[in-house]
A and B are shown apart, each in its own frame.
Chain A
């Protein structure tokens, strides 16, 4: 018996997902869905997408056996190297797919929201490549923290609009992008950055990034002759996680683990763990898990990782959680940063702080998995992005930005 394909025809994953949007956007969402269905069935579109992924984005990404990390972890760890993709993360897959779709729909303008700037940079990249006008909404607080990414987007020809209302972060950038779209929908595609939002976005984004899991599954069979025991990914909005999970969902022997940003710890209230520290609600067009107060007002999220710093999560993760197919756990800032450092020192890989959450979570589950299996477990970790963008944050965290200290090693106070 095969499970029914999700989302269902009305865009729901069980009780999650759907369309909680102003009526003004429904037609655009219907058009997007129709365009996507036709593109999905069109070999020419698929060939063009595959060609860009192969020759421009640099995928399939490697599945790398991390031997020194494995020795430390007590598990066989395989890293899905999405950090090696063009623009430095899995997000390039989604933006290329959606930008091609915008072209196909005859829309000359794309808008995007961004937190730290990674999706903004990826969107600006795809827009430059495919000759689309690009406007990126970014919370004012984030434009100040991530000035370098603002410059990158501008170099690529995008217009960056700092958002000054609400909490001036990612959720407000998303609100502002939705407001733009309500007014510009006839000539503009909203290039949503994660597998969240109203139907059909969660499905479209999942499918565009779904190559991660398809590749990882085939690479596993090819390189180690069997499937892994577990797959681990970090979860903010959840696109990299759904991208690697999806191909493994039917493989019931493969455990799926999503690691949310636990910030200072769930108990402190300062976190971004929507599933493990939030509750069911409606935000940004879908029913899902949300960080909210008793009145249903969105609560601000906190994480050292800007890419996970979001008070909602994609609806398919809410579904996978409720059905028990995937397990979600929080990883604190401190745990993530310890894993960040470990990966730097053992493998010579500086990961995105987002991805470091996945590494930390994977290390944590090793003892239980080992006990359950009675042998050394094999874990695939989605290394969703590289850490170049995080050098300042990580440098400050580890206290290694002081030039005197780096010039005079061994003379620390």
Chain B
């Protein structure tokens, strides 16, 4: 199923889409595949695979640490593609989240081709704005990969409209001015940002990320957004568990809780 279809289906069920994020190769290639499949089985509609990068400036301490562990274990860009292939073969829709340099190094067109071949439906680019994305837009059009750019509470209306116009699939609204990581309360800026996106484009699904960590917060965000994106809280399930079984059990439990949240929006 394409991202657009997933959002449409969720909308018809009067709920939000749950997007769960996990770095590729954390703590090992096989472990990350197991984690992602478990997340999907327990209720994550879409798996957001993050390509580990040495300088992740949009990410808080949890994703930084997980990325460092994956890189220290030797994960390569080709492993990330392999992981995507395994997870999408298991039936989970996959989008890739990646900083730009690894893609530029791989070759933009070649990467879009191989990403599509691996079964991913879209790609989120936290440090690539449409202004710099000419090559990516051409490659993603050619290989039919959905493009997700970010919008922020600081985006002007003009930039917001321009950014959304360049997205396909969904747009990623960063709920607050800051980096990734669970927060104690849902950002007050998020509902306003989503409303501004809808004003620019009534059709484009909006996923909200940054700061969502439990079922209650997922329910709060589901009330005003089309998608709820959770990363750090899920990663912590693995990071803080001493063995693989415990980590998977915690991941399943949290995914289930979040999936319930997006099905019960706090209206």
Chain A residues near B (Cβ < 8 Å): 10, 18-28, 165-166, 171, 175, 178-179, 182-186, 281-285, 287, 290, 292, 294-298
Establish whether residues A23 and B129, one from each chain, have CB atoms under 8 Å apart when the complex forms: yes
Q: How far is the CA of A4 from the CA of B129 in the complex (A)?
A: 25
On whether the beta carbons of B132 and A23 are closer than 8 Å, the reply is no
Q: Which residues of chain B have C-beta atoms less than 8 A from A298's C-beta?
A: 54-55, 101
Contact call B105/A23, Cβ cutoff below 8 A: no
Q: Given A26-B129, A283-B101: A166 and B178 within 8 A (CB)?
A: no
Residues A183 and B129 in contact, CB atoms below 8 Å apart: no
Inside 8 A of A183's CB, which chain B residues have their CB? 176-179
* B102 engages A296 (CB within 8 Å): yes
Tell me whether B65 is interfacial, beta carbon within 8 Å. yes
Are A182 and B179 CB-contacts (below 8 A) given A22-B150, A166-B68, A283-B55?
Answer: yes
Determine whether the beta carbon of A281 is less than 8 Å from that of B154. Answer: no
Report how many A-B pairs have Cβ atoms within 8 Å: 118
Which residues of the partner chain B approach A24 to less than 8 Å between Cβ atoms? Answer: 150, 152-155, 174, 177
Do A175 and B101 have beta carbons less than 8 Å apart?
no
B64's closest neighbor in chain A, by CB? Answer: A165
* CA distance in complex: A183, B151 (Å): 14
A23: B residues at CB distance < 8 A = 129, 149-152, 154-155, 159, 163, 174
Q: In the complex, what distance in Å separates the CA atom of A184 from the CA atom of B178?
A: 8
Nearest 9 pairs of A and B residues by beta carbon: A296-B105, A24-B152, A296-B102, A183-B178, A296-B101, A298-B54, A27-B154, A282-B101, A297-B54
Instruction: Given A179-B58, A282-B104, A296-B103, output 8 extra A-B contacts at Cβ < 8 Å.
Output: A20-B127, A22-B57, A23-B155, A24-B174, A26-B129, A185-B154, A295-B105, A297-B54
CB-CB under 8 A from A28, the residues of chain B are 154
**A290 lies within 8 A of B126 (CB):** no
In contact, A292 and B163 (Cβ under 8 angstroms): no
Assess the A27–B155 pair: CB atoms within 8 A.
yes
B101→A182 contact, CB < 8 A: no
Chain A residues within 8 Å of B55, by CB: 166, 171, 175, 283-284, 298
Asked whether, in the complex, the Cβ of B129 is within 8 Å of the Cβ of A19, the reply is yes
Interface range on chain B (Cβ under 8 Å from partner): 35 or more
> Which of A23, A24, A165, A295 has the most chain B CB atoms inside 10 A of its CB?
A23
Q: Is the interface of A mostly helix, strand, loop or mixed?
A: mixed
Question: Smallest CB–CB gap between A296 and chain B, Å?
Answer: 3
What residues of chain B lie closer than 8 Å to A21, measured between beta carbons? 57, 127, 129
Give the docked Cα–Cα distance between A214 and B200 (Å): 48
Chain B contacts of A19 at CB under 8 A? Answer: 129, 131-132
A94 to B27, CA, bound (A): 43
Contact yes or no, B57 A178, CB < 8 A:
yes
Q: What are 10 sample pairs from A and B whose C-beta atoms fall under 8 A apart?
A: A19-B132, A22-B58, A23-B159, A24-B153, A182-B57, A282-B100, A282-B101, A294-B105, A295-B102, A296-B105
| B window 102-116: CB within 8 A of A | 102-106
For the complex, give the distance between the alpha carbons of A171 and B55 in Å. Answer: 8
With A182-B58, A283-B55 known as contacts, the answer to whether A297 contacts B102 (CB < 8 A) is yes
* A230 and B50 alpha carbons, distance in the complex (Å): 48
Most A CB within 10 A of own CB, among B53, B77, B127, B150: B127
B38 within 8 A of A: no
Q: Cβ of B2 < 8 Å from any Cβ of A?
A: no
Q: Does B246 contact A (CB under 8 A)?
A: no
Tell me, yes or no, whether B61 is within 8 Å of chain A by CB: yes
A19 to B130, CA, bound (A): 10
| Contact status B177-A22, CB under 8 Å | no
Please tell me if the beta carbons of A20 and B156 are within 8 angstroms of each other in the complex: no
Taking a contact as CB atoms closer than 8 A, the residue among B64, B102, B106, B153 that contacts A166 in the complex is B64
Say yes or no for B208: interface residue by CB 8 A criterion: no
List chain B residues, Cβ under 8 A from A290.
101
Q: CB of B71 within 8 A of chain A?
A: yes
Which residues of B sit under 8 angstroms from A178, Cβ to Cβ?
A: 57
Name A183's closest neighbour in chain B (CB-CB). Answer: B178
Interface residues of B in 53-109 (CB under 8 A from A): 53-58, 60-61, 64-65, 68, 71, 76-77, 100-106
Complex interface: chain B residues within 8 A of A282 (CB) = 100-101, 104, 127
A182–B178 contact, CB under 8 A? yes
- The reply to whether B77 and A295 contact each other, CB–CB distance below 8 Å, is yes
Query: Which residues of the partner chain B approach A26 to less than 8 Å between Cβ atoms?
Result: 129, 152, 154-155, 159
CB-defined interface of B190-210 with A at 8 Å, one 1/0 digit per residue?
A: 000000000000000000000
Taking CB atoms, residues of chain A closer than 8 Å to B127 are 20-22, 282, 285
B182 CB, nearest partner CB in chain A, Å: 15
Residues of A within 8 Å of B126, CB to CB, are 22
Residue from B57, B103, B106, B127 having most chain A Cβ neighbours under 10 A = B57
In the bound assembly, the distance between CA atoms of A287 and B102 in angstroms comes to 13
Residues of A within 8 A of B131 (CB): 10, 18-19
Closest chain B residue to A171 by CB distance? B55
Find the A residue at minimum CB distance from B103: A296
Q: Cβ of A281 and Cβ of B104 under 8 Å apart?
A: yes
Q: Does B139 contact A (CB under 8 A)?
A: no
Least Cβ–Cβ distance between A27 and chain B, in angstroms:
4
| Residue ID in chain A nearest B77 by CB atoms | A295
- Per the bound structure, the CA–CA distance linking A79 and B179 in Å amounts to 45
Q: How far is the CA of A282 from the CA of B103 in the complex (A)?
A: 10
Complex Cα spacing A22 to B155, Å: 11
Determine whether the beta carbon of A165 is less than 8 Å from that of B57.
no
A199 to chain B, nearest CB (A): 10
Inter-chain CA distance A183–B178, complex, in Å, is 4
- B76: which A residues are within 8 A, CB to CB? 295
CA distance A171 to B53 in the complex (A): 13
> Taking CB as reference atom, which chain B residue is nearest A28?
B154
What mask results when residues 230 to 248 of chain B are scored 1 for a CB within 8 Å of chain A, else 0? Answer: 0000000000000000000
Q: In the docked arrangement, what's the CA distance between A22 and B56, Å?
A: 11
User: With the chains together, A106 CA to B68 CA distance in Å?
Assistant: 38
Cα(A23)–Cα(B197), bound, Å: 14
- Is B68 a contact partner of A297 (Cβ separation < 8 A)? no
Contact A296 B106 (CB under 8 A): yes
Q: Are B105 and A292 in contact (CB under 8 A)?
A: yes
